[in-house]
Amino acid sequence: MKVLGISCSFRKWGNTDVMVKECLLGAKEAGAEVEFIRLTDYEIKPCMGCMRCAFKGQPCPIDDGVSQVFDKLVESDALVIGVPTYILGAAGILKMLLDRSMPLMFSEKGRLLHGRPAVAIIPYGVADWEGLTAAQISIFLLALGYRIVDRIIARCQGPGEIVLNEEVMKRCAEDGKRLVLGLTDYAGEQGICPVCQNSLLEVKGLKVRCPICNIYGHIIIENGKLSVKFEDPHNHRWTPENMERHFEEGMYPSVERYLKLKDKIKKSLAKYKNL
């Protein structure tokens, strides 16, 4: 078994690097082959939005390091990925890679990722400033078909400071071992989405909706405690069937609709040419 560790931090030997590597050490101790890469060592250019991959089935025309990263994902049986929190969100390079991932989603190689286990690492610096990083890394993993088995959100400020947190480091090592030993079932926490494991929920009357996974739940109050019971947690937006429906019913028909409106749109845009 091979476990790939990816750090999305520009800071070498920072907390993200350390936590990812501790997971890899646990995996190695359990008998796995491990590899660590730093995403910032690769040239990652922004998506141009040409949609050749989606509508024409063509490879991405951008020549950079993205295909090398995707090859490493496909060659690995499990993933540990860490991204630092910058201003209430994930470091931008993670979103850059996600935006470029559509060619992988449409490929036979990409289908190999479906169901593979992944651990998400989220360090942040100041109390109550975790922000949306956990949600963003969940979207990245679920969009590529990974199954999130744990996410470790840890407060740490100075470079490498996390090594002093024995509880977090122990959890990282244990998660690495669990990936190798197949102990990947995650019981989850009360009141969070069982798919993406985030508490970012929309309240709609007495119901809640996970905007990431598009599943609904009921708010339940028992003995003065509030909890959420999700209606159909297995029918989320990231299932292969629902993802296929998304493209077949939501995206592909837009081509014909746009072509019918193209001339009208072009005329309407004329007034902006001199600005």
Report yes or no on 208 lying in a domain.
no
Report yes or no on 268 lying in a domain.
no
Q: What domain count does the chain have?
A: 1
The answer to whether residues 23 and 173 touch, using CB atoms and an 8 Å cutoff, is yes
Give the separation between CA 48 and CA 60, rounded to whole angstroms.
10
- Give tens-digit pLDDT for 90-115: 999 999 999 999 989 888 888 899 99
Coil, helix or strand at residue 76: coil
- Give tens-digit pLDDT for 11-64: 999 999 999 999 999 999 999 999 999 999 999 999 999 988 888 888 899 999
Report yes or no on 242 lying in a domain.
no
Instruction: Determine the pLDDT at residue 141.
Output: 96
Beta partners for 254?
Answer: none
pTM higher than 0.85, yes or no?
yes
Residues 6+ apart with CB under 8 A from 68: 42
The answer to whether residues 219 and 208 touch, using CB atoms and an 8 Å cutoff, is yes
Instruction: Determine the pLDDT at residue 188.
Output: 53
134-173: b or e for each residue (b if 16 or more CB lie within 10 Å)? bbbbbbbbbbbbbbbbbbbebbbeeeebbeebeebbebbb
Full domain range(s) for residue 130: 1-186
* CA quadruple 48, 50, 52, 53: dihedral sign: positive
Ranges in the chain, pLDDT < 70: 184-191
Total Cβ atoms within 10 A of residue 74: 16
Report yes or no on 210 lying in a domain.
no
Report yes or no on 116 lying in a domain.
yes
For residue 103, give the CATH number of its domain.
Answer: 3.40.50.360
The answer to whether residues 85 and 129 touch, using CB atoms and an 8 Å cutoff, is yes
Instruction: Determine the pLDDT at residue 192.
Output: 82
